[in-house]
Chains A and B, each alone.
Chain A
Amino acid sequence: MTDALIWLVAMPLAAALATLLLPRHASVVVIITGVVTTLAGGILLFAVGTQGALSYEIGGWTAGLGIALRADGLSALLLLMTALVMLAASIYASAYFSKAVERARFWPLWLLLWTSLNALLLSGDLFNLYVTLELLGLSAVVLASLGGKTAAVAAALRYLLVGLLGSMLFLAGVSLIYAGYGTLDIAALAHLIEPGPVTWTALALMTAGLLLKTALFPLHFWLPPAHASAPAPVSAVLSALVVKVAFYLVLRLWLDVFAAVVTGAAANLLGVLGAGAVLWGSWRALRAERLKLLAAYSTVAQLGYLFLFFPLLQALPSGPARDAAVGGLVILALTHGFAKAGLFMAIGVIQQRCGHDSIRDLDGTAQRLPATTFAIALAGVALIGLPPSGAFLGKWQLLAGSFATGQWLWILVTVAGSLLAAAYIFRVLGHAFGHQAYPQRPVTVAREEWPALVLTAMAMVGLGLAGAPVWRLLEGGL
């Protein structure tokens, strides 16, 4: 079963080299990679569900000196989501980039991004996390710059500088941890960690670096231009996965490694910043004039909800209520991943078919591209948090936790954010319907429209109606 751990990293890495050497067969290589990593992710999830956390030491070198790959319920869930979103986005990208030259430049970087996402989710020590964060940042920046226009290059450069600053702060924290504890192994640190100035400074530095990378309000300034000017398949993955794995690391540090030293005040600070993100991000999404900018600001808001869980988890005593809240947090993150990736791809279809993504001029899009408009509506339901989406289950747990701990502020923020989300989604749909006749077939361009439909349906039905295993997988962890 540990073979799955190796395949998840080795397959996209080997494929990156293969697409560089054989650009003509790149599409086949990428689709095979998608299928193999999805299978490996599924097998890993099953194995973690039946046997508990898995680990593997590369080359037989023990942790501390060698590189250990580890997977528990949380990382296995995110790995499977990564595989599914990347597979769908790869199919979409093969249609999005119409020129062979563009595709030849795109695939190796795309697969390196994929490798670093998987490697980050499987890393068992802090230094490998730093290395994978850097690999992820570098490949993401180059992909974001492929938009070509001056705005895309400027946004990518800013993205790079912010990412570098974030990783350097993270590395500074890592070096303090090594000075204090003599190990970087996450599992070992979780037992050793104790309160003190070194630990607090290290946690503050690492968290500051990661908050920059996960674009938590008010450190979100770089995200909207970078995500809105990148090519659509890249935007989808940046918003759905790249910021999400930085959030995964915050979660891992705060709830797992440093759980013993996190204070209520620190968790409240994250909650307040999250509340700011929900309100500001949703408001800016409502005021956005372009669809891609709307989707990017909506990412800022949706990440805010995830941070609202921190003060709740800090206040709830360990037990069923806390486990339920952790499950709600994870399912909200997963739903956003699927829904946002689908939304960006659907927007990409509109942008390429209509030549623009201005919300005001969408008139008749629902008639010209019914399947794509439907995908936007499905993604919208998941972003608002209506049933039966997975986000409904997540927000339900958010509200239940707020009631149980008497933290009323988060309830108001959640309600306001959901109303604003409803407003910005209905604004788009309102502009999309025109008076033209519907076409004979709802799906007009299959390879471009199906990936978005499947992903948004996953967010809706897959996670909403079949979300119970998420809670079971997280039992005992975090």
Chain B
Amino acid sequence: MLTAQLLYGLTGCLIVALGLRTVLLHASLLHRVVAINVLGAGVFMILVAIAYRGPGVPPDPIPHALVLTGIVVAVSATALALALARRLTAEQSND
């Protein structure tokens, strides 16, 4: 079952690469906020793949805990980014 773990891990790397590409190349703000979340999902997928320890063995709980914390951080950061973006749009339409 090692191949399954490898498959998930490599998919995670691919998602990270896709997210990184959009963050670096797209100028649109919303694109970049979404892309950073995609990048984060890739990192979380790698962490979930790392936690796998073979069939019948319970997975390693530490990477799972890291993913949970990471998701909380990503959600709050996204909320802040959207709030700032809204304020920016409001201020720009005022000017």
List A contacts of B10 (CB < 8 A). none
List B contacts of A178 (CB < 8 A). 47, 50, 62-63, 66
A127 to B42, CA, bound (A): 17
Check B66–A127 contact: CB distance below 8 A: yes
Check A161–B32 contact: CB distance below 8 A: yes
Contact with B along A177-189 (1 / 0, CB 8 A): 0110000100000
List B contacts of A168 (CB < 8 A). 36, 39-40, 43
Q: Provided the pairs A134-B77, A168-B36 are in contact, do residues A150 and B50 lie with their beta carbons within 8 angstroms?
A: no
Separation in Å of the A67 CB from the closest CB of chain B? Answer: 12
A-B contact pairs, 6 of them (CB 8 A): A131-B69, A142-B80, A157-B88, A161-B33, A175-B43, A175-B50
Check A175–B81 contact: CB distance below 8 A: no
List the 9 shortest-distance A-B pairs measured between CB atoms, nearest first: A150-B91, A157-B84, A179-B50, A134-B73, A175-B47, A153-B88, A172-B43, A164-B36, A168-B39
Q: Provided the pairs A165-B39, A175-B46 are in contact, do residues A150 and B73 lie with their beta carbons within 8 angstroms?
A: no
List A contacts of B50 (CB < 8 A). 175, 178-179
Check B91–A153 contact: CB distance below 8 A: yes
Separation in Å of the A65 CB from the closest CB of chain B? Answer: 8
List A contacts of B77 (CB < 8 A). 134, 137-138, 160, 164
Asked if A75 is an interface residue, CB under 8 A from chain B, the answer is: no
Q: Which residues between 61 and 84 of chain B lie within 8 Å of chain A, taking CB atoms?
A: 62-63, 66, 69-70, 73, 76-77, 80-81, 84
Separation in Å of the B69 CB from the closest CB of chain A? Answer: 6
Asked if B21 is an interface residue, CB under 8 A from chain A, the answer is: no
Q: Provided the pairs A138-B76, A138-B77, A175-B63 are in contact, do residues A160 and B46 lie with their beta carbons within 8 angstroms?
A: no
Asked if A468 is an interface residue, CB under 8 A from chain B, the answer is: no
Considering only CB atoms and an 8 Å cut-off, how many residues of chain A contact the other chain? 31
A297 to B75, CA, bound (A): 32
List A contacts of B43 (CB < 8 A). 168, 171-172, 175
List B contacts of A331 (CB < 8 A). none
List A contacts of B46 (CB < 8 A). 172, 175-176, 179
Interface of A is mostly: helix
Contact with B along A334-352 (1 / 0, CB 8 A): 0000000000000000000
List A contacts of B69 (CB < 8 A). 127, 131
Asked if A452 is an interface residue, CB under 8 A from chain B, the answer is: no
Asked if A141 is an interface residue, CB under 8 A from chain B, the answer is: yes
A174 to B65, CA, bound (A): 14
Asked if A145 is an interface residue, CB under 8 A from chain B, the answer is: yes
Point out residues on A near B: beta carbons under 8 Å: 64-65, 127, 130-131, 134, 137-138, 141-142, 145, 149-150, 153-154, 156-157, 160-161, 164-165, 167-168, 171-172, 174-176, 178-179, 184
Query: Which of A134, A137, A150, A175 lies in contact with B66, CB distance below 8 A?
Result: A175
Q: Provided the pairs A141-B80, A172-B16, A175-B43 are in contact, do residues A157 and B73 lie with their beta carbons within 8 angstroms?
A: no
Separation in Å of the A177 CB from the closest CB of chain B? Answer: 10
List B contacts of A137 (CB < 8 A). 77
Q: Which residues between 27 and 52 of chain B lie within 8 Å of chain A, taking CB atoms?
A: 29, 32-33, 36, 39-40, 42-43, 46-47, 50
List A contacts of B29 (CB < 8 A). 157
Separation in Å of the B80 CB from the closest CB of chain A? Answer: 6
Separation in Å of the A21 CB from the closest CB of chain B? Answer: 21
Closest to A145 in B: B84
A410 to B55, CA, bound (A): 56
Check B87–A153 contact: CB distance below 8 A: yes
Closest to B91 in A: A150
Closest to B63 in A: A178
A15 to B23, CA, bound (A): 37
Separation in Å of the B27 CB from the closest CB of chain A? Answer: 11
List B contacts of A179 (CB < 8 A). 46, 50
A107 to B35, CA, bound (A): 32
Closest to B50 in A: A179
Check B81–A160 contact: CB distance below 8 A: yes
A167 to B37, CA, bound (A): 12
Check B81–A161 contact: CB distance below 8 A: yes
Separation in Å of the B77 CB from the closest CB of chain A? Answer: 5
List B contacts of A141 (CB < 8 A). 80, 84
List B contacts of A164 (CB < 8 A). 36, 77, 81
Separation in Å of the B88 CB from the closest CB of chain A? Answer: 5
Closest to A159 in B: B84
Q: Provided the pairs A161-B32, A168-B40 are in contact, do residues A138 and B62 lie with their beta carbons within 8 angstroms?
A: no
Separation in Å of the B72 CB from the closest CB of chain A? Answer: 10
Query: Which of A138, A150, A175 lies in contact with B92, CB distance below 8 A?
Result: A150
Interface hub of A64, A157, A179 (most chain B Cβ within 10 A): A157
Interface hub of B63, B69, B73 (most chain A Cβ within 10 A): B73
Query: Which of B32, B47, B62, B84 lies in contact with A156, CB distance below 8 A?
Result: B84
A234 to B92, CA, bound (A): 24
Asked if B14 is an interface residue, CB under 8 A from chain A, the answer is: no
List B contacts of A165 (CB < 8 A). 23, 36, 39
